[in-house]
Amino acid sequence: MNQNRNVNRQITLNSRPHGAPTLSNFNLVESAIPEAGEGEILLRTIYLSLDPYMRGRMNDAKSYAPPVALGEVMVGGSICRVEVSNHQGFEQGDLVVAFSGWQDYSVSNGEGVIKLDSAMENPSYGLGVLGMPGLTAYMGLMDIGQPKKGETLVVAAATGAVGSLVGQIGKLQGCKVVGIAGSKEKCDYAVRELGFDACLNHNDADLESQLATVCSNGIDIYFENVGGKVFNTVLPLLNSKARVPLCGLIAQYNATDLPEGPDRMGLLMGNLLVKRIKMQGFIVFDDYGHRYDEFQQAMVPWLMSGQIKYKEDKVSGLENASAAFIGLLQGENFGKLVVQVGPEHLD
Amino acid sequence: MNQNRNVNRQITLNSRPHGAPTLSNFNLVESAIPEAGEGEILLRTIYLSLDPYMRGRMNDAKSYAPPVALGEVMVGGSICRVEVSNHQGFEQGDLVVAFSGWQDYSVSNGEGVIKLDSAMENPSYGLGVLGMPGLTAYMGLMDIGQPKKGETLVVAAATGAVGSLVGQIGKLQGCKVVGIAGSKEKCDYAVRELGFDACLNHNDADLESQLATVCSNGIDIYFENVGGKVFNTVLPLLNSKARVPLCGLIAQYNATDLPEGPDRMGLLMGNLLVKRIKMQGFIVFDDYGHRYDEFQQAMVPWLMSGQIKYKEDKVSGLENASAAFIGLLQGENFGKLVVQVGPEHLD
């Protein structure tokens, strides 16, 4: 964390990845610390959130958000301190959640910047359990998934930022919760620490038969973070009237071409039709940003009482963000991945 | 309509089709008229409904309903007269909706048999605009599609039993309605008689560019009856937060194998995710049977006032049912296909 008060380190998009990103797609550059103009604030980044959706922004493709331009700073949510304020709504020293990207310093007009309690114990939680991933888990499960007591909920990426919360919230709603994760260690954690009823390793050759055995009454809700072979395994087990909140498809983010045939698009639609399944994509801020308070009122007590547990995977130093992000897409993180860019308080 | 008071003609499943059904898959047999036992009624079929879902019942595959067994009478909804009643709830001469299949006579214990007004002017409407297809159109559009004024609604099979009603209900909700149908004649009817804003012929080579031009603001609701190439054309035009009620996939009912690759299942899911689309299958009686009254209260006044128009394609004689059904799967019908099996009243 060699944050310097004279230099602004930035990680920019050097080139667009073809398939999985490599370190050469990123560039660490240094520039002058920007100045806050009239009505603006200067932010110093403490924590940077790394999330799978960022892979999409590295492509030059039309999506719900514009791509990052070549040479531009990579986008991302962050926890920051206000260093200088020329804005009525903020004071120097304020702790905020911002969308300031992969850099030490940034200037904002205050739009979309949310103040936190300055003495908050774990400010990085604002990027996870109390932030975007938490809201995603809560709204995707509660609003689209509509869990009912006794139903079977399967969640992929079970120890990830979103999946770990989906499963725990599902338990609190009385569901039988089955996780799918990428290692025995993660699965053990999901069952022992998070209270999942079961957790399967998607690298096991017999995942299909294991899942069918564990989900002996079928699957009522599948919270989709992954796609690919995990979805292939889940699809035949979905019950009539199942709900599939579509939150992410990390298994296909690095794909450069469509997979080989046969073409199963009609097969998927046929399954949705015959089993009367609802599959629904959502983007949390656009669809549920206005319901943040409702989420917080549920989540804060769960977190304080220990009913919801939360694990972070903290990487130190902005210079390590690119490698950590590449690892995230391979499932190497264990818990919510955040980069500590600078100290919480300056001396 | 050589209905005979001594013989029960039945059309049975002779063999399972491989691909499109042929006449040899059906068998016309004659048997004795069954007798109504204690608590039962004897029904004489007047109208038989022919609907695309019946193709699925001809396969030996697990689905939401069991397949028709070889040698068994083909299933189907019907309008019948009660000929003999040993059941407290029915009297001789009652006009009813039943699920008595492709035959002249049948016996029922009354379960699922609904009484109609015995003097109803168009009893066959109970198989269409006031029956299963009407409820399907209304609930699929209103409950899953959630139409809003000014939105663009696209409906395939635009002059079919369901599609023609979906489009007209959409107009009554203030939507811009674009139909897709299989001939110029059908398209002209959809625009001139049903009041659609536009209707495109899916056999036109430039369907894709035509649809993009007509739907210049994208598509907010796509009521899916068809699948296949029509869906391929619609998918790129779907707007953020679009809704896709999945009612039928007639284009793939006769398919014996999955189409050649590439595999677009992940592509579809990626579209649903990025555009936050809801795609939801439904089976009308299971999901919405309990809301029939609500539907009827909306539909009857629309029909009486002429705000909703309804066209039937009536085929005469049970012996012609198989050929008519084969044609239905090719889109040869024009309007709701019903077979008049016997006279409304006997002399």
pLDDT in tens, B308-335: 999 999 999 999 999 999 999 998 999 9
Residue B121: predicted pLDDT = 86
Q: Is the pLDDT of residue B1 over 80?
A: no
Q: Is the pLDDT of residue B64 over 80?
A: no
Residue B198 DSSP SS3: strand
Q: Do A269 and B227 touch (CB under 8 A)?
A: yes
A192 in contact with B, Cβ within 8 Å: no
- Banded model confidence at residue B2, pLDDT cuts 50, 70, 90: low
- Banded model confidence at residue B13, pLDDT cuts 50, 70, 90: very high
Helical (H) or strand (E) element with B272: helix B265-274
Q: Do B275 and A224 touch (CB under 8 A)?
A: no
Length of chain A: 347
Neighbours of A32 (CB within 10 A): 9
Q: Do B262 and A261 touch (CB under 8 A)?
A: yes
Please name which of A285, A290, A282, A154 lies closest in space to residue A223, comparing C-alpha atoms.
A154
Task: Calculate mean pLDDT across residues A137-161.
Answer: 96
Task: Give A235→chain B minimum CA distance, Å.
Answer: 11
Choose among A56, A258, A281: nearest Cβ to B264: A258
Do you find a cis peptide bond into A262, omega within 30 degrees of 0?
yes
Helix H, strand E, coil C: the string for chain A is: CCCCCCEEEEEEECCCCCCCCCHHHEEEEEEECCCCCCCCEEEEEEEEECCCCHHHHCCCCCCCCCCCCCCCECCCCEEEEEEEECCCCCCCCCEEEECCCCECEEEECCCCCEECCCCCCCHHHHHCCCCHHHHHHHHHHHHHHCCCCCCEEEEECCCCHHHHHHHHHHHHCCCEEEEEECCHHHHHHHHHCCCCCEEEECCCCCHHHHHHHHCCCCEEEEEECCCHHHHHHHHHHEEEEEEEEECCCHHHCCCCCCCCCCCCHHHHHHHHHHCCCEEEECCHHHHHHHHHHHHHHHHHHHHHCCCCCCCEEEEECHHHHHHHHHHHHCCCCCCEEEEECCCCCCC
Tokens of A152: 């079977």
Residue B232 DSSP SS3: helix
Supply the pTM of this predicted model.
Answer: 0.89
Task: Calculate mean pLDDT across residues A227-243.
Answer: 96
Choose among B264, B273, B282: nearest Cβ to A249: B273
Residue of A nearest to B249 (CA): A270
Reported as a single tens digit per residue, the pLDDT across B157-178 is 999 999 999 999 999 999 999 9
Task: Give A15→chain B minimum CA distance, Å.
Answer: 23
Residues of B in contact with A139 (CB under 8 A): none
Tokens of B103: 């035959």
DSSP state of B224: B
Residue of B nearest to A271 (CA): B281
Residue A346: predicted pLDDT = 77
Mutate to test the interface with A, among B136, B144, B269, B271 (most CBs of A within 10 A): B269
Task: Give B63→chain A minimum CA distance, Å.
Answer: 6
Q: Is the pLDDT of residue B336 over 90?
A: yes
Q: Which residues pair with A260 in a beta bridge?
A: none
Q: Do B270 and A249 touch (CB under 8 A)?
A: yes
Q: Is the pLDDT of residue B208 over 80?
A: yes
% of chain A exceeding 90 in pLDDT = 84
A61 in contact with B, Cβ within 8 Å: no
Task: Calculate mean pLDDT across residues B109-127.
Answer: 90
Give the mean pLDDT of chain A: 94
Sign of CA dihedral B147, B277, B180, B323: negative
Choose among A246, A266, A276: nearest Cβ to B259: A266
Please name which of B13, B24, B97 lies closest in space to residue B55, comparing C-alpha atoms.
B13
Residues of A in contact with B278 (CB under 8 A): 278-281
- Banded model confidence at residue A347, pLDDT cuts 50, 70, 90: low
Residue of B nearest to A248 (CA): B273
A-B Cβ pairs (cutoff 8 Å, strict)? 141
Reported as a single tens digit per residue, the pLDDT across A155-189 is 999 999 999 999 999 999 999 999 999 999 999 99
Q: Is the pLDDT of residue A289 over 90?
A: no
Report all structural domains of chain B as residue ranges with CATH numbers, in order of start. 7-128+311-340 (3.90.180.10), 132-287 (3.40.50.720)
Task: Calculate mean pLDDT across residues A270-284.
Answer: 94
Task: Give A176→chain B minimum CA distance, Å.
Answer: 24
Task: Give B31→chain A minimum CA distance, Å.
Answer: 34
Task: Calculate mean pLDDT across residues B34-53.
Answer: 96
Tokens of A231: 């979805």
Residue A255: predicted pLDDT = 84
Residue A254: predicted pLDDT = 82
A65 in contact with B, Cβ within 8 Å: no
DSSP state of B69: P
ipTM: 0.87
CA B218 to the chain's CA centroid: 27
Q: Do B266 and A255 touch (CB under 8 A)?
A: yes
**Integer Cα distance of A161 and A125 in angstroms:** 11
Q: Which residues pair with A31 in a beta bridge?
A: A8
**Integer Cα distance of B237 and A243 in angstroms:** 24
Residues of B in contact with A259 (CB under 8 A): 261-263, 266
Q: Is the pLDDT of residue B340 over 70?
A: yes
Residues of A in contact with B276 (CB under 8 A): 64, 280-283, 286-287
Residues of A in contact with B267 (CB under 8 A): 258, 265
Sign of CA dihedral B120, B123, B129, B131: positive
**Integer Cα distance of A101 and A72 in angstroms:** 10
Choose among B261, B268, B276: nearest Cβ to A262: B261
Residues 22-51 of A with CB under 8 A from B: none
B244 in contact with A, Cβ within 8 Å: no
Q: Is the pLDDT of residue A249 over 70?
A: yes
Residue of A nearest to B235 (CA): A265
Residues of A in contact with B64 (CB under 8 A): 240, 274-276
Give the mean pLDDT of chain B: 94
Task: Calculate mean pLDDT across residues B92-113.
Answer: 95
Task: Give A155→chain B minimum CA distance, Å.
Answer: 16
| Phi/psi at A13 (5° precision) | -85, 110
Neighbours of B56 (CB within 10 A): 19
Residues 284-303 of A with CB under 8 A from B: 286-287
Q: Is the pLDDT of residue B346 over 80?
A: no
| Burial of residue A154, with CB atoms counted within 10 A of its CB: 0-12 exposed, 13-18 middle, 19 or more buried | buried
Mutate to test the interface with A, among B230, B239, B273, B275 (most CBs of A within 10 A): B273
- Banded model confidence at residue B342, pLDDT cuts 50, 70, 90: very high
Residue A138: predicted pLDDT = 97
Q: Is the pLDDT of residue B191 over 80?
A: yes
Among A52-66, A108-122, A143-157, the range of highest mean pLDDT: A143-157
Instruction: Specify whether the CB–CB gap between A242 and A275 falls below 8 A.
Output: yes
Residue B100 DSSP SS3: coil
Q: Is the pLDDT of residue B63 over 80?
A: no
Task: Calculate mean pLDDT across residues A65-77.
Answer: 93
